[in-house]
């Protein structure tokens, strides 16, 4: 069953600041979404990825009914999320990264009791679900703390619990694990994976944490400048990356990376570690020999293909990865 249907959606913004009004008769236009189409079925866990400003947040806001598209159509479980906001809100759960759902001056407990009443949950159902969420997220340790005094990790846990409380059939998760420690992060991933396995939920995840994507998202939708660049499986995206093999080089003490290496491109420099992408057909043995002969490296590790490096190349403008056969 199709849970989310986005058809030819476009959204543009015009600047409205005082300087723009003063110096420009017509404010500049920004294209946030450009004829984006997307279908997501119940049971799918989709990673919606892209650089900052790529259009991810705008697309989430359109799909949740918080923003009206300029053109195109959106349906979530058959409803127009903007025209049917009340009914749609009963079907979806949302987290928005740095923006909390909690009432700022109330205790966490009070916010959840308000949400209980808004969703019409019976007392026994509410108590059972809160026990389940507390087992994973450890909410009871700060249950009586005002939202304004919660740490980032505590607030993120509360927001995730608030999104899951009414067992929504569609989940939109924007950076749901930001600020979480390693153990809680692993528990959250396991809980979300279990939800997806039931086949009753469609889940859309936006994140910059590649580990979350690799652990949770069999399908990837990659957008940039409001356009869909890739829509396919995680395995396919990684396979595409095999056209650019990754090499990690440990530089000799006091040495910088070689200024230019034929058939390779520097992706990242982190202290004494430099990551290169090899062009197709380049011999690993020849590449290693050239580096070692320069007397500038201590070790070379041919890592293979990493999703992080594939995304880094695409974000840097290397569209040949996506267009090559």
**Cα–Cα dist 68/72, whole Å:** 10
Pairwise CA distance, residues 172 & 205, whole Å: 6
Range from 142-146, 259-263, 287-291 that averages highest in pLDDT: 142-146
**Residue 131: predicted pLDDT:** 94
CA-nearest of 278, 271, 279 to 298 is 271
Q: What is the pLDDT of residue 14?
A: 73
> Which position has the higher pLDDT, 99 or 72?
72
Distance (Å, whole) CA 125 – CA 123: 6
Q: What is the largest CA-CA distance in the chain?
A: 72
- pLDDT at position 68 is 94
Distance CA(8)–CA(39), nearest Å, equals 11
Q: Distance between CA 171 and CA 97 in Å, rounded?
A: 14
The pairing of strands 92-96 and 170-174 is parallel
Q: Is the pLDDT of residue 248 over 60?
A: yes
pLDDT surpassing 70 at residue 191: yes
Can you tell me which residue has the tokens 């607030």? 155
Token code pair at residue 205: 């995840």
Look at residue 236 and give its three-state secondary structure: helix
Write down the mean pLDDT value for the chain: 84
Percent of the chain at pLDDT > 70 equals: 85
Of 199, 202, 198, 142, residue with least CA distance to 169: 202
Model-level pTM?
A: 0.77
Name the nearest CA neighbour of 316 among 261, 264, 270, 265.
265
pLDDT at 186 over 70: yes
User: What is d(CA 186, CA 136) in angstroms, rounded to the nearest whole number?
Assistant: 10
- Predicted local distance difference test score (pLDDT) of residue 168: 93
Among 166, 222, 213, CA closest to 193: 213
Reply yes or no on whether the pLDDT at 256 is more than 90. no
Contacts of 289 (CB under 8 A, 6+ apart): none
Q: Identify the pLDDT of residue 297.
A: 72
Residue 146 has pLDDT above 90, yes or no: yes
Q: How confident is the model at residue 236 (pLDDT cuts 50, 70, 90)?
A: confident
How far out from the chain centre does Cα 208 lie?
Answer: 5
Would you say 297 and 252 are in contact if contact means Cβ atoms under 8 Å apart? yes
Are 265 and 276 within 8 A, CB to CB? yes
Q: Which range, 189-198, 271-280, 287-296, is most confident? A: 189-198
Position 73 scores a pLDDT of 96
The CA distance from 229 to 161, in Å, is 32
Task: State the Cα–Cα distance between residues 115 and 117, nearest whole angstrom.
Answer: 5
- Residues 124-145: what's their mean pLDDT? 92
Confidence of residue 136 (pLDDT cuts 50, 70, 90): confident
Q: What pLDDT is attached to residue 181? A: 83
pLDDT of residue 77: 95
pLDDT (tens digit per residue) in 76-85: 999 999 999 9
Question: What token pair was written down for 67?
Answer: 């923003």
Distance CA 282, CA 264 (A): 9
| HSE-up of residue 131 (Cα within 13 Å, Cβ side) | 6
Residue labelled with tokens 């918080």: 66
């Amino acid at each position: 069953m199709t849970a989310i249907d986005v058809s030819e959606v476009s959204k543009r913004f015009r600047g409205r600041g005082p300087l723009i009004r003063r110096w420009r008769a017509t404010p500049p236009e920004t294209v946030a979404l450009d004829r984006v189409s997307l279908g997501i079925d119940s049971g799918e866990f989709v990673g919606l990825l892209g650089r900052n400003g790529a259009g991810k947040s705008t697309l989430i806001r359109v799909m949740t009914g918080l923003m009206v598209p300029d053109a195109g159509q959106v349906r979530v479980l058959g409803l127009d999320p903007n025209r049917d906001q009340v009914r749609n809100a009963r079907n979806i759960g949302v987290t928005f990264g740095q923006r909390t759902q909690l009432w700022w001056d109330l205790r966490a407990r009070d916010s959840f009791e308000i949400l209980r009443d808004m969703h019409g949950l019976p007392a026994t159902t509410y108590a059972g679900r809160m026990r389940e969420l507390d087992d994973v997220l450890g909410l009871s340790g700060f249950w009586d703390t005002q939202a304004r005094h919660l740490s980032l990790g505590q607030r993120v846990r509360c927001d995730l619990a608030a999104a899951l409380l009414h067992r929504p059939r569609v989940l939109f998760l924007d950076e749901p694990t930001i600020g979480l420690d390693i153990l809680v992060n692993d528990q959250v991933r396991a809980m979300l994976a279990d939800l997806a396995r039931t086949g009753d939920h469609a889940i859309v995840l936006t994140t910059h944490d590649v580990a979350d994507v690799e652990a949770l998202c069999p399908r990837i939708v990659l957008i940039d400048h409001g356009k869909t660049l890739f829509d396919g499986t995680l395995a396919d995206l990684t396979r595409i990356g095999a056209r650019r093999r990754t090499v990690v080089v440990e530089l000799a003490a006091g040495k910088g990376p070689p200024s230019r290496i034929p058939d390779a491109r520097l992706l990242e420099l982190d202290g004494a570690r430099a990551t290169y992408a090899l062009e197709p057909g380049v011999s690993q043995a020849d590449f290693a020999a050239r580096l070692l002969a320069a007397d500038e490296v201590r070790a070379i590790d041919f890592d293979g293909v990493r999703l992080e490096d594939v995304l880094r190349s695409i974000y840097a403008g290397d569209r040949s990865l996506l267009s090559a056969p």
